[in-house]
Amino acid sequence: MSELNAKENLLDRVFADAGERDQSYRQSERQLAERHKEHLQSLKNTTRRPLTCRLESSLIDGLTAAGFVQVVTPILLSRGMLAKMTITRDHPLTRQVFWVEEDKCLRPMLAPNLYHLMRDLVRLWGKPMRIFEVGPCFRKESQGALHLNEFTMLNLVEIDDLEGRQQSRLQELADLAMGAIGFKDYRLETSESEVYGETIDVLAGDLELGSGAYGPHRLDQQWGIIDPWVGIGFGLERLAVAVEGHRNIHRAGRSLSYLDGARLNI
Ligand code: ATP
Ligand code: MG
């Protein structure tokens, strides 16, 4: 029944006998299935697009209105691009990478491609240079309730004369993204990162919605970046979990079993 997002207390209840328990479970299951059917009806008749897709549209609208330009880069990433993020053979993240060929993988993050574009675009456009990408990323995960093997990242980055105010700009950009989807219950917190050393995370309760970083950073030299920058990467399915209160992120991910969070085998 947890597939139907039954609340934990439903599974913990105490019954007089097995018959009473089975009857009660059957009733709860029927009610939950009913709710999922209603949700699918409202998807068909009203919203017509899953929440993750609607969140993506709202973020695109909010970011482009704020001057960010959308970029679209390859999903197949070379080993060399990962190495420039310091993700080489002995790095812990390497074990999470899906290799397609000896020297190509499915991108586990958008940052290498954005880093690559930043140098040309700041040269061509000057400052401020604001771009974002939204698209699939892949990581081998040990299938917890908060991790998917394929998920959708939205990564924004800005280069500007931000010296000394990168942290406050990061807060502003987190506010911009959260404002675009109308989500209020979040906070920023600093944490350790294997790639960046330190990240500033956007959290809803214990759930990490996004991770931000800023430069000048030791990785910048590899990519020919000298100006200050700030960037944040959000997981769209994590945002859907936060908005809907799902207990399992698989309800929000690319799926053949769920559509917009509703179970299909009901
Ligand atoms: P976590 O610590 O939760 O595993 P992370 O710090 O490894 O996440 P980042 O590299 O910071 O993840 O990626 C940016 C964002 O992408 C995360 O904040 C999260 O919202 C999302 N994300 C990362 N990995 C996954 C995953 N396997 N499934 C779903 N979303 C993910
Ligand atoms: Mg993170």
Give me the pLDDT at residue 9, please. 60
Pocket test for ligand 1, best of 147, 206, 241, 246 (most atoms within 8 A of CB): 147
Return the residue whose CA atom lies nearest to atom 2 of ligand 1: 208
Instruction: Determine the pLDDT at residue 247.
Output: 95
pLDDT value for 3: 58
Q: Provide, rounded to the nearest whole percent, the portion of the chain with pLDDT above 70.
A: 95
Conformational region of residue 8, where left means phi above 0, alpha means psi within -120 to 50, and beta covers everything else: alpha
**Which residue, among 199, 191, 202, 203, has the nearest Cα to 219 in the 3D structure?**
199
164 CA to middle of ligand 2, Å? 23
Q: What is the pLDDT of residues 119-141, one digit of tens each?
A: 999 999 999 999 999 999 999 99
Mean pLDDT (the chain, rounded): 94
Q: What does DSSP assign to residue 254? A: S
Pocket residues for ligand 1 (CB within 6 Å)? 109, 139, 141, 147-148, 151, 153, 208-211, 233-235, 237-238, 249
Q: What is the pLDDT of residue 16?
A: 86
Asked whether the beta carbons of 253 and 148 are under 8 A apart, the reply is yes
Report residues of the chain scoring pLDDT below 70: 1-11
Name the nearest CA neighbour of 126 among 63, 213, 67.
67
Cα–Cα distance, 253 to 255 (Å, whole number): 6
Query: Measured in Å, how far apart are the chain's first and last C-alpha atoms?
Result: 11
Please report where in the chains the tokens 């990467």 appear, as a residue.
Answer: 233
| pLDDT of the residue at 8 | 55
Q: How far is the CA of 132 from the centre of ligand 1 (A)?
A: 17
Q: Which atom of ligand 1 is nearest to the CA of 211?
A: 11
- Residue 177: the pLDDT is 98
- Ligand minimally distant from the alpha carbon of residue 136: 1
In this prediction, residue 194 carries a pLDDT of 85
